[in-house]
Amino acid sequence: MTVIEETKLAVAPFTGSTAEWDDYVASQEHSSFCHLLGWRQLMSDVLGHEPLYRVAVAGDGKWRGVLPLVRVRHRVFGHYLLSMPFLNYGGPVGSPSARAQLAIQAAQEAERSGADLLELRSRYPVPAGLRTTDRKITVLLELPSSSESLWRERFRAKLRSQIKRPLKEGMEVRFGREQVEPFYEVFARTMRDLGTPVLGRAFFERIARVFPDNVVFAAVYWDTRPVAAGCGFVWRDEFEISWASSLREYSRLAPNMLLYWRLMDHVISRGVRVFNFGRCTPGSTTHRFKSQWGGVDVPLPWVQWSAKGLAAPPSPESPYYKLATGAWQHMPLAIANQLGPRIARYLP
């Protein structure tokens, strides 16, 4: 146990129950679905990473903050401490003092264990004196109380026209757990076509089982074939689309536009008032797609520590990995889907 004397808080490994952790997370203003304890099981059982979940405890025994931290280590890809891998949030939550101490203790663990990089993906500034990266942002769209109001009062004519195109072609969107397989079919092929290793099907199947009340799977169909799909999460009055894809041979019909519109319509009916488009790189093509819906850019002040001065964990966007993109794009889909998960779990 690491004790910070000046404020009488102790930072200790979490050893309690799921209910204890999740109840605390739900009580915190700055928490997200990324903080739920179910992710610990996915990171360890499905991806093979080491969870290092921490709690900041006061002298009276009450929790003052929590941090879901995960070690991702590979002899080739490197050694990283992340909160949370593959997700956009998960940094320390709790009182300002607890959040600072949890971040400092995480940096100490990174230094002690020789990690190449610590990255705490917080949506809010962490008062710990560590450096902050500005390489990612998100786009947030406030939703009205009805989808009709969104359509008539918020969307421009050009945007409505783009949505109408796949509707005129007879495309439809289906929701539910039974869309996990269609989602993965589209997602895996899209990732292969982009030259990027894909996370395994088991990862998303486990998400559907562990977070049945939070996760939303959706797929766009043209006749009987899924041509676009997405997976996202509801947390309080916000929905984040975490993974989305569409088959490029259907791009002229804009099934992705129908996907996002139906997702908005779906979550409005669930009482959601903010549509979160997920992280992106400022100025990228993805950023421009998200901006067209009328949302606002929101910086993501992720906190970092690195003795080597690294600015990011390994990513398919980096120049080193782009060298392999062309070869991966021409790989048979079956082989890409078999090899991809073995690599993708180290690209968090």
* pLDDT of residue 328 exceeding 90: no
pLDDT bin (cut points 50, 70, 90) of residue 319 is low
Mean pLDDT for 334-341 is 90
DSSP string, 62-123: -EEEEE--EEEEETTTEEEEEESTTSS----EESHHHHHHHHHHHHHHHHHHT-SEEEE--S
Give the model confidence (pLDDT) of 108-134 as tens digits. 999 999 999 999 999 999 999 999 999
pLDDT of residue 215: 98
Mean pLDDT for 47-60 is 96
Question: Start-end ranges of CATH 3.40.630.30 in the chain?
Answer: 2-134+301-312, 144-272
> Is CATH 3.30.300.180 correct for 144-272?
no
Alpha helices in the chain, H assignment, sequence order: 18-27, 38-41, 96-113, 147-149, 157-168, 180-194, 201-210, 255-268, 285-291, 319-322, 325-329, 333-344
For the chain, percent of residues with pLDDT exceeding 70:
95
Give the model confidence (pLDDT) of 252-305 as tens digits. 999 999 999 999 999 999 999 999 999 999 999 999 999 999 999 999 999 999
Give the model confidence (pLDDT) of 132-169 as tens digits. 999 999 999 999 999 999 999 999 999 999 999 999 99
* pLDDT of residue 105 exceeding 90: yes
Please state, in angstroms and rounded to a whole number, the distance separating the CA atoms of residues 31 and 149. Answer: 29
Domain at 2-134+301-312, CATH from 3.40.50.2300, 3.40.50.300, 3.40.630.30, 3.40.50.2020 = 3.40.630.30
**Count of CB atoms situated within 10 Å of the CB of 203:** 18
Please state, in angstroms and rounded to a whole number, the distance separating the CA atoms of residues 51 and 68. Answer: 7
